[in-house]
A = this chain, B = another copy of it.
């Protein structure tokens, strides 16, 4: 589908939302809008899809109170802004939307703070079924990169750009745009995706030529990955049938990074089908690796221990594999960073650790 058609489609869904209020008026109803409650209590793990989704609880914004009426007014102004933005094929950041509301002619429609405008965009995303990217709302930062045997075409505002993610980029790699749905994959010689948490490890793999030797697409996660990074990872998996492996530090916070790539997060549970790759596998650092490879460690802090214990209760981690690993970590009371593999030399990660793990996992 062309960008114009995409814009038109998203625009139509937004206007339908606003049209609903008119229909309600005509029926003599008080205008209202229902959205799923976005709290931890209303998140369910969908066993079939293996992702997080919202449950059945809904909150209703209704014009039967001044507060509710004001919410709907803000929704209508935001819908108008987004519809205009799509018509003009422009985009903006969440922060710009907040500031821009100061120029709206109705003071009551202006946002009081950025939490309010952010949450309005989330509401509209959920109710309309259109993603924020399709509203052309950009995040403040994207920032992640790809290096590997992938040839792609990005549709930019300045025309099409064909880029090979090894041959046409510097050592920094290809910068993933805010909306990776502007990308077509032309040709790919990769055998799998290696999504890497830290910049230091990403640079190590690139320096050691791991992407070339193992036909790997190295995707830098940069800590908790941006939506754009998760989206392109999912598309690469779905469209090119590439196995996804996730390589992080060996601590509970990093397991959550894996969890958000694989299963989605509470904040974006309405987008799990768009962002999550349930088939993604965890390479490590596993607690078992800390023992097997005698890695340098730090002791677990109290908050590490709490996080591990809460992961044992988390449906995403209720598998034999994760229970064994987490219990082991609570037992050894240690954690290791991915760069601690350097204690066996700078090539250990690419010559020994990753090949062994990928072989164990059946990826190589």
Contacts and interface: CB of A to CB of B under 8 A. Distances in A.
Interface of A: 90-93, 95-97, 99-100, 102-103, 138-143, 145, 154, 156-158, 161, 163, 166-178, 182, 198-200, 203-204, 207, 209, 212, 222, 296, 337, 339-346
Contacts of A156: 170-171
9 contacts: A90-B207, A92-B346, A96-B200, A100-B345, A142-B172, A156-B171, A157-B209, A158-B209, A178-B203
A154 B169 CA distance: 9
Contact of A203 (B93, B204, B212, B222): B93
Contacts of A182: 171
A342 B96 contact: yes
Contacts of A163: 168-170
A170 B174 contact: yes
B175 A169 contact: yes
A204 B141 CA distance: 12
A145 B173 CA distance: 11
B99 A339 contact: yes
Copies in the complex: 2
A90 B171 contact: no
B166 A158 contact: yes
Given A140-B198, A141-B199, A95 B178 contact: no
Contacts of A145: 175
A155 to B, nearest CB: 9
B172 A168 contact: no
B203 A346 contact: no
Contacts of A154: 170-171
A143 B172 CA distance: 8
Nearest to A141: B199
B100 A343 contact: yes
A206 to B, nearest CB: 8
From A158, A167, A176, residue with most partner B Cβ within 10 Å:
A158
A156 B173 CA distance: 11
Contact of A140 (B157, B199, B346): B199
B102 A343 contact: yes
Contacts of A177: 170-172
A95 B141 contact: no
A95 B140 contact: no
A102 B296 contact: yes
Contact of A342 (B99, B166, B342): B99
Contacts of A340: 99
Contacts of A222: 141, 143
Given A161-B168, A175-B175, A339-B93, A103 B345 contact: yes
Given A91-B203, A143-B143, 16 more contacts: A91-B207, A92-B204, A92-B342, A93-B339, A96-B204, A99-B296, A141-B200, A141-B222, A157-B171, A161-B169, A163-B170, A170-B177, A171-B177, A172-B174, A175-B175, A178-B203
Contacts of A344: 103
Contacts of A143: 143, 199, 222
A92 B178 CA distance: 30
